[in-house]
């Protein structure tokens, strides 16, 4: 009897055949004895995480794989980034990603990252809690120059343009309403006032006076983008009856997990980079299975390596995932699911719409004849070709937790 499930999503794992790898993908050309052993025991297939030929973002594809239709729930990545910074969002809040930047006395952008300051925290602290036109502003600091802004109030809209022109030597744009609704007009107006006030406050910040004195660019302006409104996600446990936890080192995925009510398990040594401790992540996930019915493990680096065109390092990282996957071989009461959120093509250095491989291993699974975990091997498997939203349905069914349709 299956007690619980572990879902491992390897970001950007899938790829296209590469000439430099003799027409194989990095996954196909990697030595992956443990993943292959799992594939041999399980049922395999391929997944269009959003739909056929659609190039998925990481946030939308994760929502779909976790059973949340992005068509209904996705409004932009701002809410996930803010949630990941520890901001407690409420339904109707509008969240934006922000950079601390440098403008000169004529408001011309000199540096979009304020000389890559080490932490935005001492700068944004005083901007937290400002109220303008009845809208309450909260600001949280992220890594380096990054921050997130959350607006809370009645009648807000996230249909806003960015103020970041993405180039130097020009003024920041005004935030504009992207539709004719009074909500969008109102939200843009309040945000523009806030940005002006933030600029005035930041310019007076003693830390910036210090920076100017030693010839460093002051962190005196907020460039923001990606406005998103929190629609309110049904709780994962309510939707699926599974108490769930997430193991991830990266803000966006932690944000997705938090937004759907998963608990976070933090793992020392998990970095989200190629040097991450994959064994430690699996160990923590397996431990969490004592307490949770469902553990989602996110492994990031294959995606970044492919986006850098570094297919050899991607292959090497996949081999590291494989070595750690040895720990998944002896989970008797656990349904083990391994897949990816999208294909990241090392040659094009971007996400593409090709389907990704999936394997599901556990008691009661109708194992197929596939003996390798790879893009083309899994295309021959018993699951066939499914959509991202089907994955949770398949998991619930195999766990014996699906509700009957009809009598
Ligand atoms: Zn991704």
Q: Measure 62 CA to ligand 1 centroid, in angstroms.
A: 8
- Predicted confidence at residue 118, as pLDDT, reads 86
* Radius of gyration of the chain measured on its C-alpha atoms: 23
- Predicted confidence at residue 90, as pLDDT, reads 84
In whole angstroms, give the CA distance from residue 184 to residue 187.
5
Q: Measure 343 CA to ligand 1 centroid, in angstroms.
A: 8
Q: Measure 281 CA to ligand 1 centroid, in angstroms.
A: 18
Q: What is the DSSP string of 336-356?
A: EEEEESSEEETTTTEEE---E
Is the Cβ–Cβ distance between 113 and 100 less than 8 Å?
yes
Q: Measure 353 CA to ligand 1 centroid, in angstroms.
A: 12
Q: Measure 92 CA to ligand 1 centroid, in angstroms.
A: 26
Q: Measure 364 CA to ligand 1 centroid, in angstroms.
A: 30
Q: Measure 344 CA to ligand 1 centroid, in angstroms.
A: 8
Q: Measure 286 CA to ligand 1 centroid, in angstroms.
A: 23
Q: Measure 252 CA to ligand 1 centroid, in angstroms.
A: 10
How do 131-132 and 135-141 pair as beta strands? Answer: antiparallel
Q: Measure 130 CA to ligand 1 centroid, in angstroms.
A: 35
Q: Measure 8 CA to ligand 1 centroid, in angstroms.
A: 13
In whole angstroms, give the CA distance from residue 194 to residue 407.
57
How do 294-299 and 244-247 pair as beta strands? Answer: parallel
Q: Measure 70 CA to ligand 1 centroid, in angstroms.
A: 15
Q: Measure 218 CA to ligand 1 centroid, in angstroms.
A: 33
- pTM of this structure: 0.85
Low-confidence ranges of the chain (pLDDT < 50): none
In whole angstroms, give the CA distance from residue 27 to residue 378.
12
Q: Measure 346 CA to ligand 1 centroid, in angstroms.
A: 13
Q: Measure 55 CA to ligand 1 centroid, in angstroms.
A: 10
Q: Measure 59 CA to ligand 1 centroid, in angstroms.
A: 7
Q: Measure 298 CA to ligand 1 centroid, in angstroms.
A: 10
Q: Measure 303 CA to ligand 1 centroid, in angstroms.
A: 6
Residues with CB under 5 A from ligand 1 (ion): 11, 58, 303, 341
Q: Measure 188 CA to ligand 1 centroid, in angstroms.
A: 30
Q: What is the DSSP string of 99-127?
A: EEEEE-TT--EEETTTTT-SBSHHHHGGG
In whole angstroms, give the CA distance from residue 79 to residue 252.
9
Q: Measure 77 CA to ligand 1 centroid, in angstroms.
A: 13
Q: Measure 274 CA to ligand 1 centroid, in angstroms.
A: 15
- Predicted confidence at residue 142, as pLDDT, reads 86
């Amino acid at each position: 009897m299956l007690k619980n499930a572990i879902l491992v999503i390897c970001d950007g794992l899938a790829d296209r055949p590469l000439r430099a790898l003799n027409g194989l993908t990095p996954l196909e050309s990697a030595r992956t004895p443990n993943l292959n052993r799992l594939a041999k025991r399980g049922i395999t297939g391929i997944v269009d995480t959003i739909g056929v030929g659609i190039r998925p973002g990481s946030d939308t594809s994760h929502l779909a794989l976790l059973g949340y239709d992005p068509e209904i729930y996705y409004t932009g990545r701002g809410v996930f980034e803010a949630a990941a910074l520890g901001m407690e969002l409420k339904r109707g809040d509008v969240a934006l990603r922000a950079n601390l930047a440098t403008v000169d006395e004529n408001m011309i952008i000199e540096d979009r990252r304020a000389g890559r300051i080490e932490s935005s925290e001492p700068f944004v602290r005083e901007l937290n809690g400002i109220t303008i036109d009845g809208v309450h502003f909260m600001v949280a600091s992220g890594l380096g120059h990054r921050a997130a802004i959350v607006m809370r109030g009645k009648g807000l809209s996230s249909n806003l343009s960015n103020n970041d022109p993405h180039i130097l030597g020009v003024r920041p744009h005004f935030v504009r309403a992207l539709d004719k609704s009074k909500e969008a007009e109102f939200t843009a107006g309040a945000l523009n006032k806030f940005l002006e006030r933030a600029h005035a406050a930041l310019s007076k910040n003693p830390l910036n006076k210090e920076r100017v004195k030693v010839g460093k660019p002051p962190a005196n302006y907020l460039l923001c983008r990606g406005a998103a409104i929190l629609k309110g996600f049904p709780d994962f446990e309510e939707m699926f009856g599974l108490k769930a936890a997430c193991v991830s080192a990266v803000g966006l995925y932690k944000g997705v997990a938090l937004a759907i009510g998963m608990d976070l398990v933090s793992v020392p040594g998990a970095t989200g980079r190629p040097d991450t401790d994959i064994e430690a992540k699996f160990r923590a996930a397996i431990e969490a299975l004592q307490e949770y019915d469902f553990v989602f493990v996110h492994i990031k680096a294959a995606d970044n390596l492919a986006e850098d065109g570094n297919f050899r390092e991607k292959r090497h990282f996949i081999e590291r995932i494989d070595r750690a996957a040895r720990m998944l071989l002896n989970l008797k009461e656990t349904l083990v699911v391994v897949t990816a959120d999208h294909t990241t093509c090392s040659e094009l250095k971007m996400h593409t719409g090709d389907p990704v491989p999936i394997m599901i291993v556990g008691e009661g699974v109708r194992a197929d004849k596939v003996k390798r975990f790879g893009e083309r091997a899994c295309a021959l498997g018993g699951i066939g070709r499914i959509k991202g939203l089907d994955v949770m349905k398949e998991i619930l069914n195999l766990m014996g937790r699906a509700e009957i349709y009809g009598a």
